[in-house]
A and B are shown apart, each in its own frame.
Chain A
Amino acid sequence: GENVEQHPSTLSVQEGDSAVIKCTYSDSASNYFPWYKQELGKRPQLIIDIRSNVGEKKDQRIAVTLNKTAKHFSLHITETQPEDSAVYFCAASSLFGNEKLTFGTGTRLTIIP
């Protein structure tokens, strides 16, 4: 089955700096890669996603890049703000909406004011 690894497990950055979180996956059939932000005791919130036919996607301060050959994808947050502090999870699925999401281990991001 799919295995998703995520690094780093914790990340502290100064407010205004950029944060990068990386994930690798094992199943070449995976073609949907979402990123979720989860605050304590809450449901995961989808912040951005990418499909395998695209190499990069951007939404304001958030971007995701995908390298299918190397089987890795990354989340980039620019101009970080205190409200970006949360746990971030990457995930992978082989069929959007129909197959299970396999989650990475999570990254606790702390923005230092």
Chain B
Amino acid sequence: GAVVSQHPSRVICKSGTSVKIECRSLDFQATTMFWYRQFPKQSLMLMATSNEGSKATYEQGVEKDKFLINHASLTLSTLTVTSAHPEDSSFYICSASGGLIYGYTFGSGTRLTVV
């Protein structure tokens, strides 16, 4: 089946630093990548949608200059949290779409803690 590898699984960083999260589709081409954020005991909230080779579309209220998304190839998308603050601490999870055949495949998630 379709597999998406997400790294790192956990990261602790200091306030003010940047963190990069990678999602790789291992056995299919991800034409679209969805990035979600999930706070404790809450639902998955879509942050942005990216298509290979084009700029990401951000949801209302999500700062595009703070959450940089790159989808340079059909198998790799990255989310960089810039100048991280404690309130950015959350569970970040990607979902790769391989269109009508592969549907939605979730990465394993990244637990970000900003101290």
Check A103/B44 contact, CB under 8 A, given A41-B91, A43-B109, A98-B32. yes
- B42 contacts A106, C-beta separation under 8 Å: yes
- The interface bits of chain A over 95-113 (1 if a CB of B lies within 8 angstroms of the residue's CB, else 0) are 0111011111110000000
- The interface bits of chain B over 1-45 (1 if a CB of A lies within 8 angstroms of the residue's CB, else 0) are 000000000000000000000000000000110100000001111
- B99 contacts A98, C-beta separation under 8 Å: yes
- Chain A minimum-CB-distance residue to B34: A100
Check A106/B43 contact, CB under 8 A, given A41-B91, A41-B109, A43-B109. yes
**Cα of A59 to Cα of B37 in the assembled complex, Å:** 30
In the complex, chain B residues 88-108 whose Cβ is within 8 Å of any chain A Cβ: 91, 93, 95, 97-104, 106-108
- The interface bits of chain B over 49-77 (1 if a CB of A lies within 8 angstroms of the residue's CB, else 0) are 10000000000000000000000000000
- B103 contacts A102, C-beta separation under 8 Å: no
Contacts of B107 in A (CB 8 A): 43
**Cα of A98 to Cα of B98 in the assembled complex, Å:** 8
Min Cβ gap B9→A in Å is 9
- Chain B minimum-CB-distance residue to A46: B104
Residue in A96, A100, A103 whose CB lies within 8 Å of B49: A100
Contacts of B100 in A (CB 8 A): 96-98
- Chain A minimum-CB-distance residue to B93: A43
Contacts of B101 in A (CB 8 A): 97
- A102 contacts B99, C-beta separation under 8 Å: no
A44, A96, A97 pick with most chain B CB within 10 angstroms: A97
Residue in B34, B99, B102, B108 whose CB lies within 8 Å of A101: B34
Contacts of B32 in A (CB 8 A): 97-98
- Chain B minimum-CB-distance residue to A104: B43
Contacts of B104 in A (CB 8 A): 34, 46, 97, 101
- B34 contacts A97, C-beta separation under 8 Å: no
- B103 contacts A96, C-beta separation under 8 Å: yes
Q: What are the 5 tightest A-B residue pairs by CB atom distance, in nearest-first order?
A: A43-B106, A97-B103, A103-B43, A103-B44, A97-B99
A interface, CB within 8 angstroms of B = 34, 41-44, 46, 89, 96-98, 100-106
Instruction: Give 9 new A-B contacts, CB below 8 A, not counting A41-B109, A96-B100.
Output: A42-B108, A89-B43, A97-B98, A97-B100, A98-B97, A100-B34, A100-B46, A101-B34, A105-B42
